[in-house]
Structure 1
């Protein structure tokens, strides 16, 4: 909203918004690698990056008074946008990394912590919207400043790690069946199990290296032994004895995130509950930022014992990735300009604030049910449902009338579809990519997926959306978004053949 108050047009706003997605693909791996390499610097690094990135946001407050020429404002806004993208955007990945390090051998509880981030996001969007309606846009900067100072102090004073706090892996013999799986996938000849969405049997997956503790007992066995500590079966790096010494001081964020996912998957497979705990379900779905941090592993394959990274030789794999890229473009064309679109519709900031909790609730519920949906329905059905839901939402938007109470209510209800479609696409894509790649390559594969969606896809969508919105208006913006999403669906379906 402050970018709009600088009197930039939609085209210029799109260019500014496009900076973050492109830069974040590089910034996340850089800063997470540094935090992983030097654990003692993790807390101070979070504080420093938050200070620099947050200062760029606060700088927007002073721009209207400092610069009068439009070209100067645009240039300064782009510079501040770049500073925030490079220093501020990776904060989410570093927070995820800190949580995973704090949890240590109980990474399965990661989703319980992540849930509070979703709750906080929805509540703050609502509260800030109400306050802006009462006191004006400047109150948002005051709230941001208080939150920024609090975060910096907490990060520097309390987020402290020692290299000896991080669990290290021991070794075991590599399973021959896993070698066969890896070789098959590297050759681009993966074959899914008949009648399922999996490229392998998830209930019989074996790991080449365990931690210093054996696999945990089942849920029932754990309940029978109150003194049994919850240990992660997944906190594992696929290394031989002669490679272990290279990781004395290194633990990567992406591998820790994969630990949490493998552990959550193991727990879900052993559970006989119809619906899993919400935190456990969220542990199974990696965040965008943490997924992109996996690019820090590129160029270090020999050190980590990770095989070559690219297996995009299968038609179904690269059509799937192209489809996700196109969906990211169409999705960002609407989501990145949503506040402007809703304002044109006649919504006040207090009503716009409700989009946070409404969309966030639908998103979290969909993530919660994602595993059951993935096991019950085909990937083709789930992705098609998500794409059609997104297009339906955009189509309804084109029929709404500005400053009409009925249209405003419908627009708010459409946020449920937005949260559902986004969460269904992301959770299904994550599960499908896990099926495409062997275990050792999934971290980087998830990084490719995230960069296709929220990196390249969002960046192109911001520029394209800003231009269309500025020149042709919001109706044509929705129509173009629908057209691109339709192409994405066609590409996806062609790969499923």
Structure 2
């Protein structure tokens, strides 16, 4: 079992790096937004209103972006363009200064354009994983690692310099993310990698051909490169006589061999380009080995011999660039994105409208209760993330260094829970994982009450924050898996957008408004206790509903089994 876990962990390397760079950028701004607004001398209620822009606008815009991306198959283009716009919006906060209207507008713009990035990346990753979708947690944990590490160093930077460095660091990591994303997820990156591979292959062939001498064969051959026939270095080529004439190799033969090799490669590349023009640029992210790219794969038609021997086999095969594995019967994509085109239109399913999809969700009471629980958990998470730092600064005089130090502790427990996400889903199931997530949030909120004792140091918050990893990893892993299972074919990004919008959007927005009001007009301790109570209600409702539907399902199964006798 240990070896199988280790082998699965080694797979999908580029997906792990993709999450690492994505969450490195997120960790530079979102954890510190309340501290940034507090530095502008704003009241907690105003901070709550401004911080609610990110989740509320995310909730409203995520389904829109998901629908556009699924309908037109432009997921990857949306990620690139919106990432650039989010970077520009935050950099413009530097010259904005204390202008509240400017801050409001720019954070609102950031909220709208950044909302589709995470759900689209999640949907692409799940599609890449395919049957390994339960390994999602092992990929996502690298986002948690980067979140904790980068946030820690970001806290150190703003503690020694100024808040404006938040946006500079964000821009840096976003550029790194985009470079990696373009190189691994677009057809341009795929062509670049193909070109590099061909060049490396040419170099290897030349080295093998020219460097084949040994002590007994002093043949020295300088080959004129076909691409540069007038190279000065090649004009003085010499041919030393070997002791045995049978071992002498003609340089003209080698040149001709190299020319034929390169010409064949060009013809193969031309055939691939023609196929991609006729069918559409087929791009998938590879999902096979440890050095695996999250990059583009290239459509490989079956050769003539296989077609003659297997006329009845019309299956399209996709040759993964970094492995020898083949994905069969996968839908063809348009322009490298994931808009699905059925291979056999006679058997294609009728495409659902957005209205029908939403009706299916609303008519499913079990799904609606799940979404209600995600609203409450999103509210709880946002209240803690936005107002815990304010509480520690106001009541415990915590430094920015301490606040940044809490973030590695918030993600440390995400690592084992994301790593063993597949095993948890198989053993515990979605329902139990959501119950565990609720329970971790409740315990965490209750433990904050120890700070009512004046002698308790603010540094005691560090071990408490480890509960965040348990809560978030279980809830997010279960939510992504359930959304993927429930989604009709072709609407994976839409369902991920709904889940992400409910958890990170609607729930978080409610948390910002309620949290800001209660923090200002009541107290931080009242806010934490109120939030714990609401989370308990959500836990009870969700647990009872799952027991009810589980019993109802078992009764149905019993009736069906009896009807067979």
TM-score higher than 0.5: yes
Q: 1:129 aligns with which of 151, 155, 159?
A: 155
The equivalent residue for 1:336 is: 386
Q: Alpha-carbon deviation of 1:312?
A: 4.1
Q: Alpha-carbon deviation of 1:460?
A: 1.1
Contact 2:70 / 2:338 at 8 angstroms: preserved in 1? yes
Q: Alpha-carbon deviation of 1:228?
A: 7.6
Aligned mates of 1:468, 1:126 — CA distance in 2 = 29
Q: 1:252 aligns with which of 309, 324, 338?
A: 338
The equivalent residue for 1:23 is: 57
Q: Alpha-carbon deviation of 1:481?
A: 0.6
Aligned mates of 1:19, 1:113 — CA distance in 2 = 29
- Judging changes above 3 Å, is the alpha-carbon distance between structure 1 residues 304 and 161 closer, same or farther for their aligned structure 2 residues? farther
1:457 and 2:507 correspond: yes
TM superposition score normalised by structure 1? 0.64
Q: 2:324 aligns with which of 229, 246, 250?
A: 229
Q: 1:356 aligns with which of 407, 414, 427?
A: 407
The superposition leaves residues 42-62 of structure 1 with CA deviations (integer Å, 9 ceiling, x where unpaired) of 46x555433432232223333
1:165 and 2:260 correspond: no
Contact 2:377 / 2:503 at 8 angstroms: preserved in 1? yes
Instruction: Point out where structure 1 has 5 or more consecutive residues left out of the alignment.
Output: 68-72, 169-209, 217-226, 238-243, 257-300
Aligned mates of 2:143, 2:182 — CA distance in 1 = 20
The superposition leaves residues 372-416 of structure 1 with CA deviations (integer Å, 9 ceiling, x where unpaired) of 333333655443333222111101102214875x54333111111
The alignment yields a C-alpha RMSD, in angstroms, of 4.2
Contact 2:155 / 2:400 at 8 angstroms: preserved in 1? yes
Contact 1:128 / 1:140 at 8 angstroms: preserved in 2? yes
- Judging changes above 3 Å, is the alpha-carbon distance between structure 1 residues 493 and 148 closer, same or farther for their aligned structure 2 residues? closer
The equivalent residue for 1:395 is: 446
1:62 and 2:113 correspond: no
1:368 and 2:447 correspond: no
Q: Alpha-carbon deviation of 1:153?
A: 6.4
- Judging changes above 3 Å, is the alpha-carbon distance between structure 1 residues 60 and 41 closer, same or farther for their aligned structure 2 residues? same
- Judging changes above 3 Å, is the alpha-carbon distance between structure 1 residues 59 and 446 closer, same or farther for their aligned structure 2 residues? closer
More deviation in 425-434 or 7-16? 425-434
- Judging changes above 3 Å, is the alpha-carbon distance between structure 1 residues 39 and 382 closer, same or farther for their aligned structure 2 residues? closer
The equivalent residue for 1:5 is: 39
Q: Alpha-carbon deviation of 1:489?
A: 1.4
Q: Which has the larger radius of gyration?
A: 2
Instruction: Point out where structure 2 has 5 or more consecutive residues left out of the alignment.
Output: 1-34, 189-279, 286-313, 342-348, 549-565
Aligned mates of 2:84, 2:284 — CA distance in 1 = 30
Q: Alpha-carbon deviation of 1:129?
A: 0.9
The equivalent residue for 2:437 is: 386
Q: Secondary structure at the residue paired with 1:400?
A: helix
The superposition leaves residues 319-349 of structure 1 with CA deviations (integer Å, 9 ceiling, x where unpaired) of 2322222222222221232322332333221
Contact 2:380 / 2:531 at 8 angstroms: preserved in 1? yes
Residue pairs, 1:145-156, within 5 angstroms: 145-148=171-174
The equivalent residue for 2:536 is: 486
The alignment of Structure 1 onto Structure 2 pairs a total of residues equal to 381
